[in-house]
Amino acid sequence: MSKILVISGHPNLSESNANTTVIETLLSRHDDVAIRRLDSLYGEKQIDIVSEHEALLSASVVVLQFPFYWYSVPALMKRWIDEVLSYNFAYGPKGDKLANKHLILSVTVGGPEEAYSPLGYNHFSVEEFLRPLEQTAYLAKMQYHRPIYSHRMVYIEGVYNELSDVQNRAVEHGERLAAKIADLLHSPESIIKQFVNKWFDKLDSLSEKTEAFLPHLSKQLVLCLPEGDFLGHAGFKQWYQWALSTFKPNCRHIVEQIDITADGEYFNLSLRVNLSAHTYIDSDFAGQNVEVQVKENWRLRIIDGQHVLIEQYLVSSLGDQL
C-alpha cells in the first residue's frame, strides 16, 4: 500500500483546472502515491468506511486536497470526515489508529491573498478558517503541518484570471506539496518518529523473540528502567524476559509527545508515553491492570541514512498509576 494518501474532495475533479494540476504534479514527483477521488468513488453513494480505513492505515502521510468552499471543505469531503474519522478509530478510548501520521491540508483558494486579512473582505486568514481541521488532527493524535494553499486558483474565461496563470500556480503549489512530503518521509526526524512507532508496536505484541529489537540496540547499550539498570544485548534480554513474565501480550503504548534534538551525529529524544497493560497473577503486579505515564529519554544515531541504533534508553515514571 502507498505511503502517501491523497483524499481528493473536489466534487467534480475532471472539471478542475487547479486541483487536477496539483495532483498531477505530485504524481510526477513521487511514486508511492494513492489518490482517493471521492467524486468518482462515491458522489451521492454511501462511503465505504472499511476501504477508507484500510487506505488510511497503510499511509504515513495523508493529504486532504480540496478547493476552499465557503471558508471550509466541500460537502463531499465534510461527509467523508464525519463518517470515516469515526469513534474508536480516529478518537475515543481506542481511537489511536491515525496517531502520529502526518496530515497536510492542500487547499486551492479562489480569492486573492489580500482578501484574507483583517482589512480584506474575508477579514481572517486562510489558516484561521482552517482551525477546525487543525483541531480534528489533534484529536486524532495526528501530526498536523502548516497547510499549503494558493490564491487566485479559479479561472473564469474573460472575467477572472488567465488559464495559464492558474495552471502555473497549481504546478508551483504541487511542487511545494511534493517537497514538503519528501522532507517528512526522508528527514532524520521523520525516520526517527516512524521508528519509535514501530518500536512500541513490537513491544506491545510481546513476541518471545528478541531478534526484532537487537539490531537496533548498541552492544554497549545503557538501559535504565524502574526495574533496574541493564547493559548491552545481554542486559536487554534479561529485562525482556522479565517483561514477558509480567505483562500479557497486546499492551498499549501511546506516545503523547516526542521531542528530538540533534547533537552532532547523535539525536536525543524526550518522550512522554502512556502504558496500559494486563499483568499475570504471579507477576510483581499480581494480575493488576497497569496504566501509567512515563518519561523516556533515548540517545541514538542513524546509520547509512536509515538504520536507527539506540545507545541509551532511560525510563522514569511520571507519577502513580493513571
Tens of pLDDT, residue by residue, the chain (322 residues): 468 999 999 999 999 999 999 999 999 999 999 999 999 999 999 999 999 999 999 999 999 999 999 999 999 999 999 999 999 999 998 898 998 899 999 999 999 999 999 999 999 999 999 999 999 999 999 989 999 999 999 999 899 989 999 999 999 999 999 999 998 888 898 889 889 988 998 999 998 788 889 999 999 999 999 999 999 999 999 999 999 999 999 999 989 889 999 999 999 999 999 999 999 999 989 999 999 999 999 999 999 888 999 999 999 987 654 4
HSE-CB for 61 with a 13 A CA cutoff: 27
Assign domain 4-186 to a CATH class.
alpha beta
Are 60 and 2 contacting, i.e. CB atoms less than 8 angstroms apart?
A: no
What CA–CA distance (Å, rounded) separates 217 from 246? Answer: 22
Provide CB contacts within 8 A for 159, sequence distance 6+: none
Q: Judging by beta carbons within 10 Å of its beta carbon (0-12, 13-18, 19+), is residue 109 exposed, middle or buried?
A: buried
What CA–CA distance (Å, rounded) separates 38 from 285? Answer: 50
Are 106 and 177 contacting, i.e. CB atoms less than 8 angstroms apart?
A: yes
Instruction: Map out the domains of the chain as residue ranges.
Output: 4-186, 190-317
Q: Please name the CATH architecture into which domain 190-317 falls.
A: Roll (3.10)
What CA–CA distance (Å, rounded) separates 311 from 266? Answer: 9
